[in-house]
Amino acid sequence: MRTNELASRAAVHPETLRYYLRRGLLAEPARTAGGYRSYPPEAVARVRFIKRAQELGFTLTEIDTLLHLADGGPDSCDRVRALAADKIGDLRQRIADLQALEAGLTSLVATCDRPRSERDCPILHELGEADPP
C-alpha cells in the first residue's frame, strides 16, 4: 500500500510516516516501478503500536526500544514492565509538578480579591521577581 493509504488506515498524517522512516521506526519500504513507496500490510499495526505508545507518554526513543522488545523473548516482558514502571514514576513527578504550579497560581489569583484601590497585582509582581533559571 502507498503512503497515503497507510496513513489513512493508521489514522496519521503522511508526514508522520516519513518522520518515522527518518527515525528508523519504520523499515524503508519497497518501491514500485513508478518510484512510490509500497508498505506491507503489517505496517498498519506497527504505526498503530507507535501511536498508542506515544499516547501512553513514551518518547520515540523509548518506542524504538519497545518495538525491539516486541519481537519477543522471555526477558522482553520484564524489560517492558520496567520501562512502564519508570514511565509511571515520570508521570507522577510531572503530575506533582503541575499540582504545585496550580497551587501557586491559585494562591496568586486569590490575592486578586482585594478591593481595587488596595491592589498591587501580586501576579505581575511575582512574575517580575522570579530569578532566571
Q: What CATH architecture applies to the domain 1-71? A: Orthogonal Bundle (1.10)
DSSP-assigned states of every residue in 54-78: HHTT--HHHHHHHHHHHT--TTHHH
- For residues 50-55, average pLDDT: 96
The pLDDT assigned to 74 comes to: 76
CB 32 within 8 A of CB 38: yes
- For residues 48-66, average pLDDT: 95
The pLDDT assigned to 131 comes to: 63
- For residues 91-99, average pLDDT: 96
The H-or-E segment that residue 37 falls in is: strand 37-38
- Its pTM stands at 0.75
Domain boundaries of the chain, sorted by first residue: 1-71, 81-133
The pLDDT assigned to 133 comes to: 54
